[in-house]
Structure formats: C-alpha cells, structure tokens
Amino acid sequence: MRFSNPYALWGLLLIPLVILMYILKQNFEQKEISSTFLWELASKEDEVNTPWQKLKKNILMILQIIVIIIITLALANPYLYKKQETNNVQIIVMDTSASMNAEYKDGKTRLDYAKEMAKEKIDGLLDGTPVTIITIGNDVNINVSNAISKDTIKKSINNINPTYGSMKIDDNIDFIFSIAKSYEDYEISIISDEINNNDNIHNYLVQSEGSNVSIDNISTFFSEGSYEVLAKVTNRYKTPVKIHFDLYDQNDTWLKGSEIDLESYESKNILFDNINCEGNYIYGQIKEKDLITADNKRFNILNKNEIKRIILISEENIFMEKAILASNRYELYKTKNSGVNNEKYDLYIYDSIIPDSIPDEGNLMFLNIPKVDGLYETDSETSSGMAAFSDEAITRHVFNENFIVSDYRKILPNEYIKSIANVGEDSIIATGNKNGRKFNIMSFDLHNSDFPLNISFPVLIDNLLADILGNGVQIDENYHAGENISFEPLSTTEKAFISDPKNNKAELDVNFPITYYDDTKELGVYELIQENNEKEQKTDYITINYNTDSESTIKEYSDELDDNVSNKMVTRSRKKTDFMSLFIILAIIVMLYEWKKYVIG
C-alpha cells in the first residue's frame, strides 16, 4: 500500500499523547461513603474477570486510538499498487486536439479528465520512473522528456493547454515509437477520446456523450449589391435535434436567422439571400449549447473583389499563357484579333499585334509593339545583348537574374515610363502610368529571348500583373486551427504584420517569396497588414475555423469495444474511489460507538 500524502502519517504521533493523557486523566474523584461493603459485593463479579475489566476500562482510550489511526490513514490517502507498475520508461501521449474541448455534464472538459488520469497514473508509478509527456493537438510537442520528479511532471501536465488543432495521434505513431525505441524498456500510454489499435499501446479513454451540431462551412457570394450566404450544418449525434442558426456581421449585429430540424447524423445547407452588410466578415452561430461549443461558430470573409479578366491578343504565346494562369486570380481570354469585341477586360495584352485602337478602360501591356501613340516610342534599330534588371520593388525577387535577348528595340524614355530591365543603357522592359492608367512594355519578342525559360519569368509576369491590376497577394482566406497561414507578400511590401482575434500582433518575415505564420490556435478572424515603403497599408482578412470534419464527430465506444481492441488495453476514465470519505465515515461510526459506550456502558 502506498500513500498519496505520506506526511499525514505524522498524525500517528498523537497516539502516545492520547495514552499519556489517559494516564494523567486517571484521577478519580475521592468520595467518603458509609461503607464500601455493598460496592464490594456489586463489583465482585467484575473483579473475577479482571483482564476484561481492565480492558473495558480502557476501551474508550482504545476507541480514541482507533479513530486517530483511521483519520490519519484517510488524510494520507492510501492506494494499492497497480499490476502494470514497473520501472519502465513511461511515454504518455496526451491528445490536446479540438475534440478534447468537449464538456462533461459537470463542466469539465475531456482534457481536464485526461489530465487527472495522467496525474493519477504518475502517482501510481514507482519513484524514479522516467516519464516523457507528448502532447498532440496543433502540433506535436514534447512537454517533458525523461523526467523523474513527480512534482515536475504533474506541474507540466497542469500546464497543458487545450487547442483547436486537428492533428491525429494515429498519424504520429511512428514518431512516438521512434522516441520510445531510444529506451530499452518502455511503455506507451495514450490518453485520448479515440482508441489506437496498436497492441503495444495502452489506451486511456476519455469519453463524454451528448448532442453536437457543427457548422461545417459558410460561403458568401456578392451579386447585384447584396450577399448570398450558404451555410452547411451537420448533426453529429444519434438523436434528432432542433437548432437556431443566426448570421451576424463583424459588429455582432444580427442579420438573419433560421430554425432547423436535423435528424440523426443529417447535414443540411441553408441559403440566406439579400444580406446587406458592411464590414469585412460575417459569422454564423448556433444558439444552442452542446457537447462541443467551438464548432457552433464559423467565420467567413466578405469579398467583393471579382476575378480579373485578361485578354491576350496574340498569334500564340504559350509562355504568357502559362505565366498568367500560374496564378488563380485571373481569367484569361485569348484572341488573334486586335479589334476586341464589346466585352470589357481589366487588362489588354497586345503581343506583337498592333491595336487598332486602345480601349477606353482597362490596363495595358504591350509585348514587342514598337510604338503606341500617346504612351511610348521605341528606337527603330534593333539590337541584342544580355539584359539585367534594375533594383526596383517590382523586380525584388528577380533582381539578380539575367537573360539573353535579341532584336530588341530601345524604349525611349518619357515622363510616363520607368525602366525596370536594361541591356546596357537601353531600356527593354518598363512600367508606365499615364493619368492613373497603368501599362507595361516589353520591347522584344519573348520568343527571341531565353527570358521565358528563366526562373524569373513567371515571377516578373506575376509582379507586373499584380502591380498593374492591383490584386496584390495570393491569400488563402480560410484555414483550420493549427494550420500554418502562408501567403506571398506584395512586391512592394516592406513590412507585414498579422493580428490574431485577441489583437496580439506579430511581425512577419517578408524576405522570402512565401511567408508563413503558425500561431493559429485562436478561432476567429486574423488581420494581415502589408505596408510599403510609403507607409501605405493593405489589409487582408483570414479566418481560422474549427476543423469539423475531423473533430466534431462524437465517437462512441461500447463497453465491449471492437474485436481488435482488448478491454485490458483500455482504461476508461471513471471516478476515482474516494478512500478518504470511506475512512471518515468509519471514523464517525467508531466515535458514535465510543459515545454509546461512555454513556450507556
């Protein structure tokens, strides 16, 4: 037998004190009576059984000693050794994924119970047993490694925080075993709301049952001055349920709502139209509280931006096509006819085909066009050489690249244009801006250059398009908690920041083509701010939502479990037997008996 609180055993020192008190207390009140004659007769029978009489006299003392022992044991909180206790290294894997936020009826979460189970297991280990704690939620974390001090281990368990991550323990079993195999003898325990079927793992299952409805998706479409919102909800439990689904804007103003009946495990799509709201995002919320509340709310960014339309007027230019289509932001149209139809486009690219007339609206790109009235001119002579980029914001990622070009014409400088690539002193690529209308010039045929084969080609084209069309960065707006946000900064971005829903701001490193941000543990809307060298800021919004596909389903394990999972390898969380209460009740019973003995005899 061992004790959770062995210091309480010092209470046994009270026993000699009680005995001493009893000895000192043996002062009988003296009373002179006429004669002890009759008392002698009365107590004569008792004197025959002297040893029992002595014991009976002291029985109150004995009862008091028993009470002290019982209460001391209760406070020391004894428990018995478990069968599987060994000195083997203990590797405890704790699931901290989103589903562990599910609540029990007493308000505690699955993770709370998992931590209690872990601490209970630690208490049951032999002193000096090395323990490694690994948490898997947003990512894989080794919280403690090979620790011996139970206090340290339990403290680290207490410090484990819940996440909304959806990383699976099953997906990381190899990693866990790789850690384990660095020890000679080890035992792996997983504390989770799911069971791992590996025979060499002991599962500690924390399960809470209850109804759960999740919002799986919200998408918005802007058309004719208002939004259409499509939401998908799923009942994740075996019993039918009725819910109230409401839409709110970013100022928490109610927009629209709907009452929905869901059969067991049923999904439904709800369409809301004519939603008028300002702001950057909306969110949907289920009114009713259920097992997992985090999946009852979902955010969506309101995006008025339309897809940019580009028309390529060219005989054939596969290089340009691929470069344009490398980005998903554009719709590309092709024609060989310089006289475009009445369709309006955001960008007109003239590739070696001189336009009959310049469209009134939209931006322009000229490839191998000698002259455009009112915009630019090129030299009549052609030449060849090695081209290099000048150091501009738009050429940041291609600055050090060179390429060969032949039969180019020198772009004559004017007030509207700025060279960004030269062969010697001759400008061969330039950006222009006349009265707010942007245009780009390449004064050579791409086919006469190895530029398209250069790694810098698609990058430059993308930069030129972004600069000319103003779409900026390719940002994926929707992520799940725990995922890394990745984005490509604008070519003009000098600094970038990201703020989480709690307004914690972090500066991002924009020195790489793609920037990552991994602190996505909070659910909600994140702000991505990019600032150029003129302190102009551009803000984009990103949502981090609950991963309902992997973390909302209520998995039920029957008492018999599956065939391939032995009951012996699964310990369920259950209320720990409260020995203290039993001991205290026992102490009360003994004290009552003592009182009875004292009063009645």
Partner 1 sequence: MNEQIFTSDFMNKLEKLSISVKNMATYGLAGSRKSKAKGMSVEFSDYREYVPSDDFRRIDWNAYGRFKKLYIKLFMEEKEAVFRIFIDNSKSMSFNNKNITSLRLAAAFTYITLNNLDKVLINPLISNETGIFLGQGKNSFMKHISYLENIDFNNHETSFAGLKKMNFNGSGISIIISDLFTNENIEDVIKFLAFNKQQILVLHILSEEEMNPRIDGKLKMVDSETGQEKNLVITPRLLKKYKENVKRFSNNINDICSKYGATYVNIKSTDSIEKIILEDLIGTFIMI
Residue among 56 and 154 whose Cβ is closer to partner 1: 56
- Applying CB under 8 A, among 34, 159, 251, 341 the residue interacting with partner 1 is 34
| Least spacing, CB of residue 126 vs partner 1, in Å | 51
Least distance in Å: CB of 28 to partner 1?
4
Q: How far is the CB of 17 from partner 1 (least distance, A)?
A: 20
Residue 430 is encoded by which pair of tokens? 């330039």
Q: What is the C-alpha R_g of the chain?
A: 39
Which structure tokens are listed for 298? Answer: 């979902």
Interacting residues of 79 by C-beta distance below 8 A, sequence separation 6+: 1, 2, 3, 4, 123, 124, 579
Nearest CB to partner 1, comparing residues 31 and 502 = 31
Select the residue interacting with partner 1 from 1, 23, 24, 33 (CB under 8 A). Answer: 33
Tell me, residue by residue from 36 to 65, as one string, x for binding to partner 1 by CB under 8 A and - for no binding.
Answer: xxxxxxxx-xx----------x--------
Which residues does 68 contact at the CB level (< 8 Å), separation at least 6?
11, 12, 14, 15, 18
Q: What is the DSSP letter of 178?
A: H
Nearer to partner 1, 19 or 570 (CB): 19
Nearer to partner 1, 43 or 533 (CB): 43
Nearer to partner 1, 374 or 601 (CB): 601
Smallest CA-to-CA distance from 377 within 441, 422, 423 is with: 441
| 7, 24, 30, 159: which one binds partner 1 (CB under 8 A) | 30
Query: What are 187's two structure tokens?
Result: 């035992």
Using the contact rule CB under 8 A, the part of the chain among 23-31, 372-380, 505-513, 554-562 near partner 1 is 23-31
Please give the structure tokens belonging to residue 526: 């994140």
Residue of 596, 566, 521, 585 lying closest to 167 (CA atoms): 521
Binding residue count for partner 1, defined by CB under 8 A: 23
Stretch that binds partner 1, among 29-37, 145-153, 213-221, 511-519 (CB under 8 A): 29-37
> What is the per-residue binding string for partner 1 in 299-318, x denoting contact by CB under 8 A?
--------------------
The correct pick among 29, 185, 278, 306 for binding partner 1 (CB under 8 A) is: 29
Q: Which is nearer to partner 1, 46 or 273 (CB)?
A: 46
**The binder of partner 1 chosen from 32, 381, 556, 563 (CB under 8 A):** 32
Residue 382 has phi, psi (to 5 degrees) of -110, 160
Q: How far is the CB of 598 from partner 1 (least distance, A)?
A: 9
Query: How far apart are alpha carbons 429 and 318 in whole angstroms?
Result: 19
Q: Which is nearer to partner 1, 41 or 80 (CB)?
A: 41
DSSP string covering 265-279: T-EEEEEEEEE---S
Angle between helices 579-600 and 59-76 (to 10 degrees): 170
Residues 582-601 vs partner 1: string with x where CB under 8 A? ------------------xx
Say how far apart CA 298 and CA 247 lie, in whole Å.
10
Closest CB to partner 1 among 1 and 599?
599
**H or E segment and range at residue 230:** strand 226-235
**What is the nearest approach in angstroms of partner 1 to the Cβ of residue 568?**
57
To partner 1, the closest distance from the beta carbon of 600 in angstroms equals 6
CB 465 within 8 A of CB 362: no
The one segment of 22-30, 97-105, 128-136, 328-336 that binds partner 1 by CB under 8 A: 22-30
Rounded to whole angstroms, how far apart are CA atoms 515 and 513?
7
Which two structure tokens, joined as six digits, stand for 279? 């702001």
Please give the residue ranges that form the binding site for partner 1 (CB under 8 A): 26-43, 45-46, 57, 600-601
